[in-house]
């Protein structure tokens, strides 16, 4: 049968583009075969082989088998003595091909099989139009419509959702205070990590920049692993990757790997967090990495990270979230192993940690936590933390200015024009307060973006900063709203960019937008903002690492987690009165201002504060005797 399989497989290509028949004759004769109207033009020496007619009996097969047997005993070849003439070789070849074709079409509709000779002299098969077939699919169920299930086929079983309990985040607190949180999510891979209530806001009594250093030192040599390469090789065995991120209030160590390697991953995380070597060589390499990142921060065309740093420094001057997130250049040589251990001793304690996992069983994660994180002594010695900073953020307001030549920030064939960047912010609320959701809707309603942003869902082309600012003032290059929220405070700010000669007008436009937040809110724009916020929330939570971070941060702050459907319900309940109320409360505070670039025409801080306290948001008029 293996010799016949090529013919059987090739029969599916009958009627292909190789030969096309324009039209067909009706059935003729007792054979009931369909024949072409005019015979096709085949290559030289090509002959159609006979097929078994539908009504033929076993005599046809007997004659075909006899012909095949005769061809098998009759030698034929090319260029050898005593192997027969050319006509004999052709006849034998036809008989062999005929026998194979007969076997391939037994019991099914066939086609016209042709044998020809190519330009290289090798035989090849050609196929013509298929003969009459009763059912094109050849299925064993010809009379059953596609809309009905086939008889005898097992009934499929689909996955079902048994209420919301399948999506609840499970939290367990161990004896040492460590919290273990997990979220059910189907898939082969999982994301596991340790989140720590530690960040730049806790460095008031230390040298600034420790959190930045710890981020760069993460996943280096430990007590069990001699180098970072060994850690990466261990993770690669389970298809894993690792990452560490620090913010103003949280440090996060995370690994994504195959669920079968959960025990290895948790053991590795415990070793990385509690027993890092922090060798002198690694600290020296980190100094170089931090220095390079500071230089890149000041040279990159996008000023948003630097402006965010400046607006926090202006809003919370020298306290908590206003402390430097990036290590100051003067502190780079001051940070060593002793300073790092002193900080870790107070803030890397089990009661300030959460082991979070997504895509794994909760009991399995708790078991691994007990194995590796319960009773493990850190390398900086165990004991209770003695000097923990529990300060509450104090909003001060103010202005931070950096005069800089921005004309050559991005050279090349399409250089970015010289721009002045302004960011104005006001205090909002923490993510633990009820007004957090209305502030999030307000931020989405303001929206904004760059002047060259493309349209489409989620791009904010119908937000206020697009309709009122970017669409009306062509010289504005950027107008974007941001909302930063922490456990005890928050900051809603607008970032704008324009030519240095139009800085004053740009500031007035932004202050007027702040004042309009406390005015009338259209029902259409409010519903659009709420829908867009819910859409962004649900789309972000499609990603496993985002779910992991959401689980870890919420459990770290509140010991529980609000599920997406609960957040969507809170968003739907936001009314226009809530937007006006939180906006009026925000406008009563002092502004925070960050300015970068050519600041010759920048209004004074007092004028910006007066504009935000007025009814129309206009800056006080200035009269100059000489220009």
Domain ranges of the chain: 166-379, 395-626
- What is the pLDDT, as a whole number, of residue 627? 54
Closest CA to 170 of 415, 356, 20: 356
Closest CA to 510 of 473, 484, 459: 473
- What is the pLDDT, as a whole number, of residue 610? 96
SS3 readout for 282-327: HHHHHHHHHHHHHHHHHHCCCCHHHHHHHHHHHHCCCCHHHCCCCC
Summarised one tens digit per residue, pLDDT across range 35-90 is 444 454 544 444 444 555 555 555 555 555 555 555 444 444 444 444 445 555 55
pTM to 2 decimal places: 0.74
Q: Which residues pair with 258 in a beta bridge?
A: 189
C-alpha–C-alpha distance, residues 601 and 604, integer Å: 9
Closest CA to 578 of 470, 469, 436: 436
CB atoms within 10 A of CB 530: 20
- What is the pLDDT, as a whole number, of residue 58? 53
- What is the pLDDT, as a whole number, of residue 160? 65
Q: Tokens 């690994």 label which residue?
A: 255
Q: Which CATH superfamily is domain 395-626 in?
A: Metalloenzyme, LuxS/M16 peptidase-like (3.30.830.10)
Architecture field, domain 166-379:
2-Layer Sandwich (3.30)
Q: Tokens 């259209």 label which residue?
A: 522
SS3 4: coil
Closest CA to 203 of 194, 213, 195, 193: 213
- Which residues in the chain land under pLDDT 50? 1-38, 40, 42-49, 71-84, 96, 99, 101-133, 135-136, 453-458
- What is the pLDDT, as a whole number, of residue 156? 78
Residue 206 dihedral angles phi and psi, to the nearest 5°: -125, 175
C-alpha–C-alpha distance, residues 588 and 80, integer Å: 107
C-alpha–C-alpha distance, residues 596 and 311, integer Å: 11
- What is the pLDDT, as a whole number, of residue 223? 94
Structural contact between residues 465 and 494, judged by C-beta atoms closer than 8 angstroms? yes
Tokens coding 409: 């920030």
Closest CA to 391 of 488, 314, 288: 488
The dihedral region occupied by 383, where left means phi > 0, alpha psi between -120 and 50, and beta the remainder, is left
Asked whether this chain's domains 166-379 and 395-626 adopt the same fold, the reply is yes
C-alpha–C-alpha distance, residues 451 and 71, integer Å: 81
C-alpha–C-alpha distance, residues 222 and 256, integer Å: 20
Summarised one tens digit per residue, pLDDT across range 228-240 is 999 999 999 999 9
SS3 readout for 514-530: HHHCCCCCCHHHHHHHH
Closest CA to 78 of 121, 108, 35, 23: 121
CB atoms within 10 A of CB 316: 25
- What is the pLDDT, as a whole number, of residue 500? 96
- What is the pLDDT, as a whole number, of residue 145? 86
Structural contact between residues 408 and 549, judged by C-beta atoms closer than 8 angstroms? no
Q: Which residues pair with 196 in a beta bridge?
A: 251, 353
Structural contact between residues 616 and 512, judged by C-beta atoms closer than 8 angstroms? yes
Q: Concatenated DSSP letters for 479-521?
A: EEEEEEE-SS-EEEEEEEEE-GGGHHHHHHHHHHHHHHTTS--
């Amino acid at each position: 049968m293996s010799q016949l399989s090529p013919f059987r497989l090739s029969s599916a290509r009958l009627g292909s583009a190789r030969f096309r028949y324009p039209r067909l004759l009706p059935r003729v004769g007792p054979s009931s075969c369909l024949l072409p109207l005019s015979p096709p033009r085949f290559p030289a020496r090509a002959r159609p082989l006979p097929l078994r007619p539908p009504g033929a009996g076993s005599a046809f097969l007997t004659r075909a088998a006899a012909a095949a047997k005769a061809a098998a005993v009759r030698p034929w070849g090319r260029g050898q003595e005593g192997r027969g003439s050319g006509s004999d070789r052709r006849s034998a070849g036809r008989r062999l091909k005929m026998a194979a074709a007969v076997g391939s079409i037994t019991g099914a509709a066939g086609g016209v099989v042709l044998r020809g000779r190519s330009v290289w002299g090798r035989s090849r098969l050609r196929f013509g139009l298929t003969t009459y077939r009763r059912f094109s699919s050849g299925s064993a169920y010809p009379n059953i419509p596609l809309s009905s299930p086939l008889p005898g086929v097992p009934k499929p079983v689909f996955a079902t959702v048994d209420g919301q309990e399948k999506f609840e985040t499970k939290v367990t607190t161990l004896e040492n205070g460590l919290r273990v949180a997990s979220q059910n999510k189907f898939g082969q891979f999982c994301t596991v990590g340790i989140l720590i209530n530690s960040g730049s806001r806790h460095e008031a009594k230390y040298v600034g920049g420790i959190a930045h250093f710890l981020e760069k030192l993460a996943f280096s040599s430990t007590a069990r692993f001699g180098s970072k390469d060994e850690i990466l090789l261990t993770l690669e065995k389970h298809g894993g990757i690792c990452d560490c991120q620090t913010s103003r209030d949280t440090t996060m160590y995370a690994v994504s790997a195959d669920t079968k390697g959960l025990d290895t991953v948790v053991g590795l995380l415990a070793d990385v967090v509690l027993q890092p070597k922090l060798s002198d060589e690694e600290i020296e390499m980190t100094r170089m990495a931090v220095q390079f990142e500071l230089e890149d921060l000041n040279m990159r065309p996008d000023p948003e990270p630097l402006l965010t740093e400046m607006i926090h420094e202006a809003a919370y001057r020298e306290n908590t979230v206003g402390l430097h997130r990036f290590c100051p250049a003067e502190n780079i040589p001051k940070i060593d192993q002793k300073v790092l251990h002193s900080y870790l001793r107070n803030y890397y304690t089990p009661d300030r940690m959460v082991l979070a996992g997504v895509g794994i069983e909760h009991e399995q994660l708790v078991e691994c936590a007990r194995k590796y994180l319960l009773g493990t002594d850190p390398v900086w010695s165990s004991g209770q933390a003695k000097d923990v900073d529990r300060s509450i953020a104090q909003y001060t307001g103010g202005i931070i200015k950096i005069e800089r030549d921005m004309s050559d920030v991005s050279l090349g064939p399409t250089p970015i024009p010289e721009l002045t960047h302004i960011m104005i912010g006001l205090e909002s609320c923490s993510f633990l307060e009820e007004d957090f959701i209305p502030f999030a809707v307000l931020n989405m309603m303001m929206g904004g973006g760059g002047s060259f942003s493309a349209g489409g869902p989620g791009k904010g082309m119908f937000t206020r900063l697009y309709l009122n600012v970017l669409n009306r003032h062509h010289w504005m290059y950027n107008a974007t709203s941001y909302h930063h929220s922490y456990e005890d405070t928050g900051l809603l700010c607008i970032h704008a960019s324009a030519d240095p000669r139009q800085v004053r007008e740009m500031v007035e436009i932004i202050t007027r937008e702040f004042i309009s937040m406390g005015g009338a809110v259209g029902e259409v724009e409010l519903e659009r903002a709420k829908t867009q916020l819910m859409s962004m929330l649900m789309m972000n939570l499609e990603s496993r690492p985002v779910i992991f971070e959401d689980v870890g941060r919420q459990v770290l702050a509140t010991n529980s987690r609000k599920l997406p459907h609960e957040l969507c319900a809170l968003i739907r309940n936001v009314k226009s009165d809530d937007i006006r109320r939180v906006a009026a409360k925000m406008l009563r505070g002092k502004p925070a201002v960050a300015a970068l670039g050519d600041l010759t025409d920048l209004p004074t801080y007092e004028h910006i504060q007066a504009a935000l306290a007025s009814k129309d948001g206009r800056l006080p008029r200035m009269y100059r005797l000489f220009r």
